[in-house]
Amino acid sequence: MRWTIKSKPSEVTVQHLAKALNVENFVATLLVQRGIETFDDAKAFFRPSLDHLHDPYLMKDMDKAVERIEKAIENDENILVFGDYDVDGTTAVSLVSSYLRTYYPNVATYIPDRYHEGYGISFKGIDFADDNGFPLIIALDCGIKSIDHVAYAKERNIDFIICDHHRPGHFLPEAVAVLDPKRDDCNYPYDELCGCGIGFKLIQALGQNRNQTIDDLILYLDLVAAAIAADIVPMTGENRVLAYFGLQVINSEPRPGIKALIHQVKKQTLDITDVVFIIAPRINAAGRIKHGNHAVELLTEFDFEQAQQFASEIEAYNSERKDLDKLITKEALLQIVENQEKERFTSVVFQEDWHKGVIGIVASRLIETYYRPTLVFTKSGDRYAASARSVKGFDVYNALEACSEHLEQFGGHMYAAGMTLKKENYQLFKDAFEKEVERTIHPDMLTPEISVDAEINFTDITPKLTRILKQFEPFGPQNMTPIFLTKNIKDTGYGKPMGQEEEHLRLFVKQNNSEGIAAIGFGLGDKYDLTTNQKIFDAVYCIDENEWNGKVSLQLRLRDIK
């Protein structure tokens, strides 16, 4: 791993902020690195407020979307809320449908089948709307490139409102309204919302029409926080506000479905990392293994006992997902080893019987071993379908766009995407993708990087610092957990490998005459020899808390040692 220390910001800016906030220069540096340069910036960062949310009507076409929904209600029309099968899509569908149903009964939901319909708006879904009398479809977390689908719907007198956050193509679908802050002609102040976030802005606008305030909508923020965490969008601006208050809802009065999921894992208080690793995979497992409808059923259920039943079914899907994940990762790694005749800039693997629901997770796993832009293909009907994952700093969406002549369809963003192609185009695409990545990637991007915020000594780690760092939460892209470097440390003799295969590392470390601090390194078991016999080493880590038997103690979460 490459350790790179972030460049120091302007000393004048740091000192000015340190004085304004009455904090040490070191803390001010961490803030300026996150774009927080003034007292007002810091106030907004440390004290998120729902007042910081933007007026939803600033979003292009919001007035048209609200007008069409109000017209549907006035004319007693059926409304179909349509969304993707992942966490962002299912939470968005659950949010918009449950909100509309609070005052209008003629609302149904539709999640496409991952295996028979694929990603996004489907012709089958439009036929369902046509056959069952739905003249209005609200599409969430998808649709920005569905030009043919929207035209097909229009021929059947079905209107579309599209709420998406993915990058548009050269043309927009001819929908009644297209809500997407990434539109070139949209001047909305924040363009990093997830699909569920766009859905929330829609209900915020509808609520304003009904004289509701933001306080009336707080109960929906558990869904928004889950989507923000799962979709790995920047933890800045509106996303940070929505996640901050969404976590409060999750930890105080979550909807029965989320409460049932938390009940399964028996954890008291969840932070954003818990949402990523506990709630999100379970919501996702429904669409990966069975059908995304199961997630929507869970998230819109108001009876806790029934929600517990749904949650236990989803727990079973999640266990199956884990088993498939392990098996396919093993097969894919073997395939890479067998085909590694020369140094490649990409990892592209295919097996026709791999489960389509877990290929995205497998792509992420492969990157952990072979740090390359990665595509995992499987057979889907008479086509090949793939999930793409990328490495830090490399835009895989742009690479796919450059090879799009070989693809039937593709969509996504910088670090994750999906695509389908014809069988005969697989090798052509694979070769083109390798060439494009080789041409555009910087060699440094092929080695995982740990970006270090600052070098500190153990004596700098005080209760006050820990309290301040806790207020940096929730963490996420562009507001990552601060990572520190400390040099010349040693284990006090209590270090040992941990885990069934001794894959983790537990240490008790000191620097010079400092007090000892417990440290844990997940996946660092192979570094144990560097820490034995009083050897001196350097470590990069984040400052963490360990909760055990009701007691909370400070510990270091090791990221790497050298």
Task: Read off the CATH number of the domain in which 173 is found.
Answer: 3.90.1640.30
- 281 and 293 share a domain? yes
Whether residues 304 and 353 share a domain: the answer is no
Report whether 70 contacts 209 (CB < 8 A): yes
The strand pair at 484-491 and 551-561 is best described as unpaired
DSSP letter at 116 equals T
Is 425 within a domain? yes
The CATH number that applies at residue 415 is 3.10.310.30
Q: Contact, 485 vs 5, CB < 8 A? A: yes
Residue 490 lies in a domain: yes
- In angstroms, the CA 507 to CA 491 distance is 6
Residues 6+ apart with CB under 8 A from 317: 285, 286, 288, 289, 290, 294
Whether residue 21 lies inside any domain: the answer is no
Query: CA distances (Å), 373 to each of 395, 419, 442, in order?
Result: 9, 14, 12
The domain of 370 spans 339-446
Helix ranges (DSSP H) in 75-162? 87-101, 123-131, 147-155
Co-location of 96 and 240 in the same domain: yes
Is residue 165 within 8 A of residue 180, CB to CB? The reply is yes
Residues 483 and 365 both lie in one domain: no
Question: Could you identify the residue written with the tokens 């014809």?
Answer: 422
Q: Rounded to 5 degrees, what angle do the CA atoms 387, 390, 392 make?
A: 160
**35 within some domain:** no
- Number of CB atoms found within 10 A of residue 216's CB: 15
pLDDT value of position 341: 61
Q: How far apart are CA 251 and CA 102, in angstroms?
A: 24
**Pair 295, 189 in one domain:** yes
Which of 516-541 are b and which e, b meaning 16 or more Cβ less than 10 Å from the residue's Cβ?
ebebbbeebbebbebbeeeeebebbb
Q: What is the pTM of this model?
A: 0.90
Q: Which of 373, 423, 429, 374 is nearest to 404 (CA)?
A: 429
Beta-bridge partners for 419: 386, 410
Residues 94/296, Cβ–Cβ less than 8 Å:
yes
Q: Are residues 263 and 137 in the same domain?
A: yes
Nearest in space to 68 (alpha carbons), one of 164, 135, 20, 1: 135
Going from the C-alpha of 311 to that of each of 90, 262, 556, the distances in angstroms are 15, 9, 33
Q: How many domains does the chain have?
A: 3
Q: Does some domain include residue 242?
A: yes
Q: Among 412, 446, 480, give the residue marking a domain's end.
A: 446
* Co-location of 415 and 537 in the same domain: no
Residues 412 and 480 in one domain: no
Q: Which residues contact 387 (CB under 8 A, 6 or more apart)?
A: 359, 360, 362, 363, 375, 376, 416, 417, 418
Q: Are residues 264 and 246 in the same domain?
A: yes
Task: State the Cα–Cα distance between residues 556 and 522, nearest whole angstrom.
Answer: 11
- Residue 388 burial by CB count (10 A; 0-12/13-18/19+): exposed, middle or buried? buried
Is there a domain that residue 354 lies in? yes
Closest-CA residue to 109 (of 91, 174, 117, 118)? 91
Three-state DSSP at 335 gives helix
State the Cα–Cα distance between residues 201 and 190, nearest whole angstrom: 12
Burial 459-483 (b: 16+ CB within 10 A, else e): eebeeebeebbeebbbbbeebebbb
Instruction: List alpha helices for 136-220, DSSP H.
Output: 147-155, 195-209
- Same domain for 215 and 75, yes or no, is yes
Q: Let me know whether 142 and 239 are in one domain.
A: yes
Question: Using CA of residue 416, residue 421, residue 427, residue 433, what is the dihedral sign?
Answer: negative
Answer yes or no: is 179 within a domain: yes
| CA distance linking residue 547 with residue 292, whole number of Å | 34
Report helix, strand or coil for 138. Answer: strand
One-letter identity of residue 385? A
Instruction: State the helix-helix crossing angle for 221-231 and 195-209, rounded to 10 degrees.
Output: 160
Contact 480, 35 (CB under 8 A): no
Q: Give the CA count within 13 Å in the CB-facing half-sphere of 514.
A: 21
In a domain, 197, yes or no: yes
Helices (H), 291-442: 293-300, 304-338, 359-369, 396-402, 426-440
What residues contact 394, with CB distance under 8 A and at least 6 apart? Answer: 373, 437, 440, 441, 445
Same structural domain for residues 493 and 432?
no
Q: Which residues contact 363 (CB under 8 A, 6 or more apart)?
A: 374, 375, 376, 387, 388, 389
Q: How far apart are CA 458 and CA 464, in angstroms?
A: 14
Which helix or strand (DSSP H or E) is residue 383 part of?
Answer: strand 383-389
CATH code at position 502:
2.40.50.460
Burial 78-95 (b: 16+ CB within 10 A, else e): ebbbbbbbbbbbbbbbbb
In the predicted model, residues of the chain with pLDDT beneath 50 are none
Do strands 517-521 and 454-455 pair parallel, antiparallel, or not at all (unpaired)? unpaired
Q: Which residues contact 534 (CB under 8 A, 6 or more apart)?
A: 490, 491, 493
Is residue 190 within 8 Å of residue 237, measured between CB atoms?
Answer: yes
Per-residue model confidence as pLDDT tens digits over 193-216: 999 999 999 999 999 999 999 999
Nearest to 358 by CA among 345, 377, 371, 344: 377
